[in-house]
C-alpha cells in the first residue's frame, strides 16, 4: 500500500468517525446552523389524557416549572368544564424560547372540536374551533328474533347507541317476560359525518317498540343547550328517562374483587351477604360520584370506615366505603365524574379497595342495577321544551319517510 492510499483511507475513516459521533450527540447539543437544514417538524408537543388523568397531570408531563403548570391549569378551567375531560383527549403545547413557559396551547376533545389558547402576557386568549361536519339522518326498522340486543346489533348500531336504546326501552318494557319473537321496533337517529366517516356518538332522536304482549311504547330525545348535559337522552311521554348516560363508574378502571351476594366472610370465615361490590384499587386512587346527586353523609361509619353516601334524583343512594380521604361534605351537591375521595382501607377491610353499594327503598340492592340510578324526571319547564323538541323530531321523521318530491326541471307548456 503506498502512502497516498494510506492517507486517503485515514481521511475516509476520520470522516466516517465524525459522522458517527455526530449522530450520537443529541440534536439540541449541535450547532444551530445544523437545525436550519433539518426538515420542518410539527412544533406542537403532544400529551394524551390517560384514564384517570386530569389537566394538571397532563400538563405536568411537559417539563415546566410548577408555577407555570398551576397557573395554566387554573386558567384552563375558566374556559373548559374540566369534568368533561376524558381519556384520549389531546393537549398540544408550543413552548416559548425559554422553554419554561407555554406560548400556545390546543386542547382537542373530539376530532372536530379544538380549543385554542394563546398566552398573552398574564392572560390566556381562548377560542373554540368546530370543524365542519355533515349531518345525516337514518331510520332503521327491526324485528325481534331472539333478543333486542341482537336485533340492534344486526342493524349495525354502535355499542353506545345500542346501550342507550336498550336502557331506554328497558325502562318501559319488561323484556324478560313480555318480549316476543316478531315484535317490531324503529330507530330514528342522526349521525355526524366527518371526512366521509360517521363519528362515534350517533344521536338517537326517537325509538318505538310494538310488541304483541308489551304493547306500543315510544321515546323521544330531550336535550339541553349544553350538549354535555347528563339530562340529554331518551324520555317517555311522561318525561321520565332510564338515562344510562347520566351514570358513570366510581373508578377509572374496574377490577371486581368481590361481588354482591353470599360469600365467605374474610374475617369470620362464615357465609354472609356482601352488601355491595368490592373493586380492587391502589390506595389513593380517585373515587368518582357515579351520577349527579347530593351528599347525605361523609364520615367514619364503623366497619365501612370513611364512608360517603350520595342521594340521586331517582331516590337511590350510592355508597363509597373504606376511603383513605373524603373530599366532600354532607349537604354538598356533586356532579357525575366529580372526585369525592380516595381509595383506602379504613374500617373493616383486609386491604385497599373500594366497597361500592347501592341502596333503594332502604335496602341494599345489586349494584349491577346501577343504570337505574340515572332515572330522571323532567320538571315543568323542561317538559315544555321537551314538547317542542318532540314536534320537531316528528316533522324531521315525516320528511325522512315521505321526502318532498324532487322539483321538476323541465316545464310543461
**Binding residues for Zn ion (CB under 5 A):** 278, 355
Looking at the Cβ atoms of 115 and 355, the one nearer to Zn ion is 355
- By the 8 A CB rule, do 121 and 375 touch? no
Looking at the Cβ atoms of 188 and 356, the one nearer to Zn ion is 356
* CB 294 to Zn ion: min, Å: 24
Looking at the Cβ atoms of 64 and 277, the one nearer to Zn ion is 277
CA atoms within 13 A on the CB side of 161: 25
* CB 126 to Zn ion: min, Å: 44
Bridge partners for 215 per DSSP: 211
* CB 131 to Zn ion: min, Å: 46
With a CB cutoff of 8 Å and minimum separation 6, the contacts of 2 are none
Burial 111-137 (b: 16+ CB within 10 A, else e): eeebbbbebeeeebebeeeeeeeeeee
* CB 257 to Zn ion: min, Å: 9
* CB 258 to Zn ion: min, Å: 6
Looking at the Cβ atoms of 355 and 390, the one nearer to Zn ion is 355
The CB density around residue 376, as the number of other CB atoms within 10 Å, is 23
Looking at the Cβ atoms of 280 and 394, the one nearer to Zn ion is 280
Distance spanning both ends of the chain, measured CA to CA: 101
* CB 357 to Zn ion: min, Å: 8
Looking at the Cβ atoms of 217 and 355, the one nearer to Zn ion is 355
Bridge partners for 138 per DSSP: 189
Specify the residue for cell string 470522516: 15
* CB 297 to Zn ion: min, Å: 17
- Our CA angle for 110, 158, 277, nearest 5°, is 90
Looking at the Cβ atoms of 92 and 355, the one nearer to Zn ion is 355
Bridge partners for 262 per DSSP: 273
* CB 398 to Zn ion: min, Å: 52
* CB 278 to Zn ion: min, Å: 4
- Taking CB positions, which residue lies at the least distance from Zn ion? 355
Looking at the Cβ atoms of 355 and 371, the one nearer to Zn ion is 355
Looking at the Cβ atoms of 37 and 271, the one nearer to Zn ion is 271
Amino acid at each position: 500500500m503506498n502512502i497516498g492510499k494510506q492517507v486517503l483511507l485515514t481521511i475516509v475513516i476520520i470522516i466516517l468517525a465524525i459522522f458517527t459521533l455526530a449522530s450520537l450527540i443529541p440534536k439540541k447539543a449541535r450547532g444551530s446552523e445544523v437545525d436550519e437544514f433539518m426538515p420542518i417538524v410539527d412544533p406542537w408537543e403532544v400529551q394524551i389524557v390517560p384514564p384517570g388523568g386530569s389537566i394538571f397531570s397532563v400538563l405536568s408531563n411537559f417539563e415546566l416549572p410548577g408555577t407555570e403548570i398551576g397557573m395554566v391549569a387554573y386558567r384552563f378551567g375558566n374556559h373548559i368544564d374540566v369534568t368533561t375531560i376524558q381519556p384520549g383527549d389531546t393537549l398540544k403545547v408550543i413552548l416559548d424560547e425559554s422553554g419554561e413557559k407555554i406560548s400556545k396551547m390546543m386542547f382537542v376533545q373530539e376530532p372536530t372540536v379544538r380549543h385554542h389558547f394563546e398566552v398573552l402576557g398574564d392572560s390566556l386568549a381562548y377560542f373554540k374551533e368546530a370543524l365542519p361536519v355533515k349531518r345525516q339522518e337514518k331510520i332503521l326498522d327491526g324485528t325481534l328474533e331472539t333478543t333486542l340486543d341482537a336485533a340492534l346489533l344486526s342493524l349495525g348500531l354502535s355499542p353506545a347507541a345500542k346501550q342507550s336504546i336498550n336502557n331506554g326501552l328497558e325502562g318501559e318494557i319488561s323484556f324478560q317476560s313480555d318480549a316476543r319473537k316478531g315484535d317490531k321496533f324503529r330507530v330514528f337517529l342522526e349521525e355526524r359525518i366527518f371526512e366521509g366517516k360517521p363519528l362515534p356518538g350517533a344521536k338517537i332522536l326517537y325509538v318505538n317498540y310494538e310488541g304483541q304482549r308489551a304493547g306500543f311504547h315510544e321515546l323521544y330525545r330531550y336535550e339541553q343547550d349544553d350538549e354535555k348535559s347528563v339530562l340529554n337522552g331518551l324520555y317517555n311521554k311522561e318525561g321520565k328517562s332510564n338515562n344510562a348516560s347520566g351514570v358513570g363508574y366510581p373508578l377509572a378502571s374496574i377490577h371486581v374483587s368481590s361481588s354482591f351476594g353470599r360469600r365467605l366472610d374474610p374475617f369470620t370465615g362464615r357465609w354472609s351477604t356482601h352488601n355491595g361490590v368490592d373493586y380492587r384499587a391502589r390506595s389513593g386512587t380517585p373515587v368518582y360520584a357515579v351520577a349527579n346527586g347530593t351528599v347525605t353523609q361523609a364520615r367514619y361509619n364503623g366497619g365501612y370506615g370513611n364512608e360517603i353516601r350520595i342521594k340521586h334524583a331517582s331516590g337511590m343512594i350510592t355508597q363509597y366505603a373504606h376511603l383513605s380521604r373524603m373530599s366532600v361534605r354532607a349537604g354538598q351537591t356533586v356532579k357525575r365524574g366529580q372526585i369525592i375521595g380516595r381509595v383506602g382501607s379504613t374500617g373493616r377491610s383486609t386491604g385497599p379497595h373500594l366497597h361500592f353499594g347501592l341502596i333503594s327503598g332502604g335496602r341494599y340492592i345489586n349494584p349491577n342495577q346501577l343504570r337505574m340510578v340515572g332515572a330522571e324526571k323532567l320538571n315543568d319547564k323542561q317538559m315544555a321544551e321537551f314538547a317542542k323538541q318532540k314536534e320537531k323530531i316528528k316533522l324531521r321523521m315525516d320528511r325522512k319517510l315521505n321526502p318532498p318530491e324532487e322539483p321538476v326541471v323541465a316545464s310543461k307548456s
